[in-house]
């Protein structure tokens, strides 16, 4: 057999290295004045000063805060490379109330509206620019107002972004962002409420296993959370909410309060049930006053007065395997005014 050997050949190719520049974006935002640099977007901030208090009984549509932008007062310019800018959308965040030209905020009854020097007019608006460049005014030419759009029943704080200017036909390029510089307190003179007793000890008494097995629970014992509300302008009120939290198991979202008693001396097969005045069973939520907190419920709307939140508690069985022992439990309550 004839064998053939093929010599191995390794070929090195020297290729020229060509630097390929990244394509220039079709539209961009530059500063006009200062160093004239390209920026991600124009940033407009409104000062988060401590505004004066105001009477929430003012008419709907009344302005309760009025401010202009702050910061470096450079103009910005939207530049498009040989393409028309087209539609620019000026809009706020959240639900819009056309009656007051205002967007709703997290503070009930308070809305905000934005305008700027050019082209003027309250947002939202959509303007078609038939050109390749559009100048955006400097910070002090932007204006925000807070207006009353409904009943105001609580104070609050506004923060974060409240509006944008976008170039619609060019990928929705954000040309400007409008925000509050920190938190802006909203200070209506509505009643504020204080808890009369922050610690409530409720004795559920000794209960026989026979009673628990026969009735599924013990007799109810009353609880009263007492509050005094004051300091509001005449005729004002505040909307009161409450959340109960399981101290032993803060992640509990059920309606059985966990026993804190542990070890060989602790009772087994029982928990604590709490009911409201309407006889509904309380479910537990996070220790938070945020609006819409899980298992938060509405207590009522109160003026300058004293009020109570009546509750009642009892032992209930959670298992057929009952064992006598200590059966202590603890819950916290968090008030929220909205």
State pLDDT tens for residues 4-24.
333 333 333 344 444 444 444
Average pLDDT over residues 243-250: 98
pLDDT at 10 (0 to 100):
36
Query: What does each C-alpha distance from 108 to 156, 184, 227 come to in angstroms?
Result: 9, 15, 22
Residue 48 — very low, low, confident or very high, per pLDDT cuts 50/70/90? Answer: confident
Average pLDDT over residues 92-118: 94
Residue 31 — very low, low, confident or very high, per pLDDT cuts 50/70/90? Answer: confident
State pLDDT tens for residues 248-268.
999 999 999 999 998 889 999
Fill in the DSSP letter of residue 231: -
% of the chain exceeding 70 in pLDDT = 91
**Residue 215 dihedral angles phi and psi, to the nearest 5°:** -105, -10
Please name each of the domains of the chain with its CATH number. Answer: 27-186 (2.60.40.3310), 192-337 (2.60.40.1090)
pLDDT at 35 (0 to 100):
61
* Residue 305 bridge partners (DSSP): none
Quote the CA–CA distance of 158 and 166 in Å, as a whole number.
Answer: 23
Token pair, residue 48, equals 């988060």
Statement: residue 119 has pLDDT above 80: no
Lowest mean pLDDT among 6-15, 116-125, 221-230, 325-334: 6-15
State pLDDT tens for residues 158-186.
999 999 999 999 989 999 999 998 899 99
pLDDT at 38 (0 to 100):
86
Statement: residue 151 has pLDDT above 90: yes
Cβ-based neighbour number of residue 40 at 10 Å:
11
């Amino acid at each position: 057999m004839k064998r053939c050997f093929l010599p191995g050949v390794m070929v090195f190719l020297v290729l020229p290295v060509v630097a390929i520049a990244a394509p220039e974006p079709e539209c961009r935002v530059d500063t006009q004045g200062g160093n004239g640099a390209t920026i991600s977007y124009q940033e407009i901030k409104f000062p988060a000063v401590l505004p004066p208090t105001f009477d929430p009984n003012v008419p709907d549509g009344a302005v309760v805060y009025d401010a202009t932008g702050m910061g470096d007062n450079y103009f910005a310019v939207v530049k498009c490379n040989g393409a028309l800018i087209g539609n620019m959308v000026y809009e706020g965040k959240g639900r819009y109330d056309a009656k007051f030209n205002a967007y709703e905020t997290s503070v009930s009854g308070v809305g905000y509206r934005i305008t700027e020097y050019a082209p003027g007019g309250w947002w939202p608006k959509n303007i078609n620019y038939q050109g390749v460049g559009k100048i955006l005014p400097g910070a002090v030419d932007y204006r925000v107002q807070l207006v009353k759009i409904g009943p105001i029943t609580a104070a609050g704080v506004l923060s974060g972004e409240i509006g944008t200017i976008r170039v619609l036909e060019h990928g929705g390029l954000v040309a400007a962002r409008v925000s509050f510089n920190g938190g802006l307190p909203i200070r209506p003179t509505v009643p504020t409420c204080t808890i009369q007793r922050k610690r409530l000890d409720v004795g559920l008494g000794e209960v026989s296993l026979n009673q628990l097995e026969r009735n599924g629970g013990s007799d109810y014992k009353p609880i009263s959370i007492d509050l005094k509300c004051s300091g509001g302008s005449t005729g004002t009120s505040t909307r009161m909410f409450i959340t109960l939290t399981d101290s032993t198991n803060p992640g509990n979202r059920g309606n059985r309060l966990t026993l804190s008693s542990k070890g060989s001396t602790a009772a087994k097969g029982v928990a604590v049930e709490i009911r409201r005045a309407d006889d509904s069973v309380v479910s537990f939520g996070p220790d938070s006053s945020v609006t819409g907190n899980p298992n938060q419920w509405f207590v009522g709307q109160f003026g300058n007065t004293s009020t109570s939140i009546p509750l009642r508690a009892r032992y209930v069985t959670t298992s057929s395997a009952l064992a006598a022992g200590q059966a202590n439990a603890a819950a916290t309550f968090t008030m929220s005014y909205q």
